[in-house]
Amino acid sequence: MTEITVSEAIESYLNEKQAAVSDSTVQTHRHQSIQFRRWCGGADSTDNLDSIDPIDMSRFRRGRSADLNSNTVYNQLECVRPSPIHNAW
């Protein structure tokens, strides 16, 4: 499996989405990914996305759920789901 940073995975996801959705949707997804990047400690502080496991994702979801409604949390998680190209998890 190829190592990929959080930023690379998110950018790959956004590039794939560009062909299927409007520019404003891509911008919304880009904005929604900001919290996950911050949670990881910055844009590139996680060298390998494989180091983030399902327990970590659950912690991120629970932490975000305290502040946001379920649709917003779902949309933020959608942006960090693994791409079929990179199959990060």
Q: How far apart are CA 35 and CA 78, in angstroms?
A: 12
Give tens-digit pLDDT for 37-58: 888 875 445 567 778 888 887 8
Contact 1, 87 (CB under 8 A): yes
Give tens-digit pLDDT for 5-45: 888 888 888 888 888 989 998 898 888 888 888 888 754 45
- The three-class DSSP label of residue 43 is coil
Contact 9, 49 (CB under 8 A): yes
CA distances from 71 to 20, 63, 89 (A): 21, 14, 23
Q: How far apart are CA 42 and CA 60, in angstroms?
A: 14
